[in-house]
Structure 1
Amino acid sequence: MLAGRYTIIIVVFAFLLLPAPLAVENPPYESYCDGNGYAVNSTFQANLNLLTAALPVNASISPAGFATAGFGSAPDQANGLALCRGDTNASTCAACVAAAFQDAQQLCPLSKGATVYRDACVLRFASWPFLDFLQEGQWLVPELFPSIFKGPGSVNASDAWFSAAVTGIFRALVDHAMATSNATRKYFATGEMDFDPKLYGLAQCAPDLTLAQCRDCLRDLATILTTQYLSGRPPSISAFVVWCSLICSVSPVYDGRAMLQLAAPPVPPPSTTLTPPSSGRKRSAAVISAGVACSIALMLIISAICFLRFQRRINSTENNHPLKKIGRAQCTIFDLPTLQEATEHFSEKNKLGEGGFGTVYKGILSDGQEIAVKTLLGRTGDGLQQLHNEVLVLAELQHKNLVSGYMAPEYVMHGRVSPKIDVFSFGVLVLEIVTRRSNCSSDDHSTVNLLSDVWDHWSKGTMLQMLHPSLDEVAQSQALRCIHIGLLCVQSKPEDRPDISVVVFMLTRDSMGLQPPSQPAFFFGRESPSALGSDARSSYTYERSGFILGQGISVNEITLSELYPR
């Protein structure tokens, strides 16, 4: 306890010794909110306040400009990471991280998870242990989803030369960042290429990464940028994830002199156009005229046949066009100005999600009714066909006899649309797969759906009875963890369900502790006295012998014991 007090005194004293932080006025590149909400003056907010005070100081006094910290215990633990650009000084680093926390409060208010990218730093905090991603067996490069930024305009150079230059500077930066693994500024490299115009580049990894992890992270970003984002020859292009970043621009992206001075690649030779040889012997005018006449006659015959076939096809498919099908689906048709007014001209703040064929926005009509508006990307027939299918399905969902087997309660009862309705549907699907039962039916005549069956067995401690008897202990443990995750996904309140990114971590990280679920939505039955309330502070982990819960008892072959954070 005394050592803890000394630590606080030292940190505060170090903060007082720092020079006054520079003003950070530029807005962040981008920010992401990916956590559930928390209440004002809650335990999580108190832990987040401690994190907000500690990370700017700890990152600024670190030689590598990097710091991680965690305060509190699950489910209210606040975990954070801050990484400053390798060429920043202590005051700029502290000011940037502090500004990033302010950005998170403004752009992600009362959210338990946020990521903020600024010019001089990156900040990440969450209520779940995202730092475990770096542990052996947990690092998966395909799970890195970078933020990509392209500057407006175009570089005046050929596509081939520009592509060779950007690829070359990225390759040199990645190699040099690996070579500085033992330096004070670990995994950091800057470069300047004598291109026309000059190119400036930067590569950086978080110091906690292994050499192989940093290499994989940077190479993945370089591959994505050079294969997908060089069209149009953008004057600046960059990719960011929490663990690494890669930048190339015609303007300086670092302070001071570059670590690398690179020569531009050779200019590729211009493409040559082959001139067809002359026809040689001239034909007589009579032969040419006859050939032209025959060709015209043949073209007229072919055109007539094609026209007749095309006309028949139009007549047979005119009534099956996706837009006409939509009109026959007995749906209300709105004009574009009405939809623009309802969505505030398709404002980004009303954006609900994005798919392969379009983007979905939340809208409010003049009478107060909430709607979802989908805009199509391009004019592909596939997009229209998909829209037609969605409209027909949504129209049928209004049928009074329809059982809502995967629909979240907030949509069924109030028509509210949010990303958490997909999490609910996923949870139902997981429970169906693991138990091999449909949500529309139940083996127990005292209950009416699968969610009620699962919760009834879960609260009584008889969950193994719903699993197939052929499963061994390892398979039972995996199945129980999946059921646990499924129950977390089908909670009644959307804010109690995990984000899909957290669900992925739960499914792929067996060592990640899980919070106890509360009664799911659409539960019909009596609550068991032994069921855990939503305010329980226990954390589940799963082992070969079953699953472990913080109570210290054993019920129906399920081992339970107390867990403490390390």
Structure 2
Amino acid sequence: MPEPTRFEKLVSELLNNLTERAAYQSARMFATGEAEFMTTTTLYGLVQCTRDQSGDECHRCLKVSAGDRPTAILGKQGALVFAYNCFTRYEIYPFYNESVGAAPPPPPSEASTPPAKEGGKRNHAVMIVLPVVSMVGTLIIFAAIFICLKRRKSITLFIRQPHVGDEENQNDGCLLFDLSTLRTATNNFSDANKLGEGGFGPVYKGVLSNGQEIAVKRLSAGSRQGLLEFKNEVLLLARLQHKNLVTLLGCCLEQEETLLVYEFQHNTSLDKFLFDPMKNRLLDWGRRYKIIKGIARGLLYLHEDSKLKIIHRDLKTHNILLDQCMNPKISDFGLAKVFDENKTRATASKIAGTYGYMAPEYAMHGHFSTKSDVFSFGVLVLEIVTGQRINDFQGSGHAENLLSYAWKHWNKGKALHLMDQSLGDQYDRQEASRCIHMGLLCVQEDQTKRPSMELVVLMLSGHSIAVSAPSVPAYFVQGNSNTGPDVGPRNRNSISFVSRNDVTISEMGPR
């Protein structure tokens, strides 16, 4: 911004003027205005207070939020500041409807923010400052949301509308939904509309008044991981957009409810088709290959192409949604981690994920990286090819796991014997062999031998790339009808995966 000192002075003058108008001249305690900075640049401002305050109280609140802005945001082209009782925003583009004086969502209503009693303890307002072009500001605002959630306090959130060409933030139109709207859409969260349930809570189908279908994830009262998942989902999905990632439409924080609203996916999740003896016939080879490629592209975006480097940590068939055209959408970012680009791995204080899909270095030591996601992807690929569930494997009467079973067939030159019987011989041999080869490379015990998602995408695109033959995978066991279901890694610190379901483990100390 040219002439930053003059710009800062103009911001202060505009906001001070609007503060006087809102506090003492407006029955709605609301004011908008503008000031010319340069012939080509106009500054727009808006302030608003909750109407349960006196003029003096409104004036004090706005003076704190607008007049005492932290120096970290000075010189920015726009900023948003709000506390529980007042709201301030300025931009260099019009962000309100001047003809009708419409404002962005106001601070919490008087019902959610009772006035302080004279002489009593006042509620501490949480002020959040968001430079609209700053990633740090985004992290701050969502961290504050999490604090408010834990304290069960109400909060109003407004996420800026994206500028043209702001590709990374084209999904920033994330909205706050009224609870009444979501109750109506889901028929008051009726069981008839229930789609399923996970660690966060139940998921319901809904239809908005404009006919748009939505999926509403509702935090269970007894959920131990729900608040963390909520923070992650909103923080990450409001910043990320890719055709192979689920779309977050918004959220609701009202009364005692914590809700996430997504674009509805007509074909639910991959596991509902893949492991159903009737529905799996709808997954011909062309659709399966398309799903594998879509998941790979979505992971590549998370690992390499987005501004945030994301490790999903809970990739599994249940978390792959299918749209009306059977296109895959990676969902459930509740356990995801933002990864430092300068590091090759990180260590989790608590291991979170799903048995069978966890890489050995993560399951035993809490070490995670892009390669731990690659391992989960390899498991997914082998499940899609074989139609067998990793945690419910049935293999020729032997007590071995799917990874060992697949590798032994590959090693004997009989890889295509692994193909899901429901496919018959209706599949592309070259593509199938490529997927099995790649899947086994992804589940190598040594993470340095696993390919990157960039290489995986190239392989799936049919490029001729020289890659090594897979060796014995992680969790390898010799099939023996006289042995029990020992499916642990080949070392003394083994962990056995004998679960018969896809329950996500969210709190388990590193071994």
TM-score (normalised: structure 1): 0.26
**Comparing both structures, which one devotes a greater share of its residues to helix?**
1
